Amino acid sequence: MSDIFHFEAGTAPLLISIPHLGSLIPEAQKPLMTELGLRSGDTDWHLDRLYAFGKKLGASFLWARYSRYVVDLNRPPNDESLYPGQAKTGLCPTHTFDGQPLYLDGRDSVTEDEREARRRQYWQPYHDQLRAEIDRLRAQHGKVMLWEGHSIASVIPRLFEGKLPDLNIGTSSGASAAPAIQEAIEQQLGAQQDYTWAINGRFKGGYITRHYGNPADHIHAVQLEMCQSTYMAEHYPYPWVDAEAARVGALVEALVSKAFEKL
């Protein structure tokens, strides 16, 4: 049992990773932070509940316990931009997605020493477990699908124009998963009319999808970034909405299942 992440080993070659589920703030960091920072508002709330269907598929689960305001597990360890030329949310954020300060002193960065300490303490253990489970499943089954579960507020003017599509699939422009897997997802999305969607649009996949996805080595990675408005209220305290969650949850289950069938 780790206090850094939650891990459950499954029996099928499917790993569901939720790197932004955590909302904990270390005790030493709390006195430095604003009220907004302490709320950990840019968390991918409730996705462990939304993806609970994965247990029926025999999936392994890995998710974070600590907030992305401590360290962002889906960013490169050197903090380089994933989308050059666009507004960046870094490895150790100092502002909310809306641009509000996380720290009482209004700092624009953390020190290099602090960034490295957080990377070692929180980022590295998650990625060590992720790598180990991918390797275990591939050794056992000869192949593995990594599904990256994410969610985000539907409107964030600082980062995006207008409202985001409800469901955003990223496969690093086709580099992180086999074409048949992406086609199965696209067919499932095209067969429904309840939600807007995009594939490899604004979200092409973060560091985890890009770094670990390697179809030539039988590792297929897919990221789903979904608008939080599809399953919860996008305001504090960010409650789950049963009816909406049940509806979109059925579609997410179908997307994962159909993609997994093509593995």
pLDDT tens sequence across 116-142: 999 999 999 999 999 999 999 999 999
Res 89: pLDDT: 75
Nearest Cα to Cα of residue 160 among 225, 210, 208, 103: 225
> How confident is the model over 8-51, as pLDDT tens digits?
999 999 999 999 999 999 999 999 999 999 999 999 999 999 99
Q: Residue ranges per domain, the chain?
A: 5-262
Residue type, 162: G
Mean pLDDT of all residues belonging to the chain? 96
CATH of 5-262 among 3.40.50.300, 3.40.190.80, 3.10.129.10, 3.40.630.40: 3.40.630.40
Range 47-60 average pLDDT? 98
Helix (H) or strand (E) run with residue 145 in it: strand 144-152
> How confident is the model over 224-235, as pLDDT tens digits?
999 999 999 999
What count of other Cβ atoms lies within 10 Å of the Cβ of residue 135? Answer: 12
Helix (H) or strand (E) run with residue 63 in it: strand 60-64
Res 79: pLDDT: 82
Number of H helices, E strands in the chain: 7, 7
Please say whether the beta carbons of 127 and 4 come within 8 A: no
Res 84: pLDDT: 67
Range 171-184 average pLDDT? 98
Res 86: pLDDT: 66
Res 2: pLDDT: 85
Is the predicted pLDDT of residue 81 greater than 90, yes or no?
no
pTM for this one? 0.96
CA angle 211, 215, 220 (to 5 degrees): 70
Range 152-175 average pLDDT? 96
Range 86-115 average pLDDT? 92
Nearest Cα to Cα of residue 228 among 37, 86, 49, 82: 49
Q: What distances in angstroms separate CA 226 from CA 32, 48, 96, one per listed residue?
A: 31, 14, 18
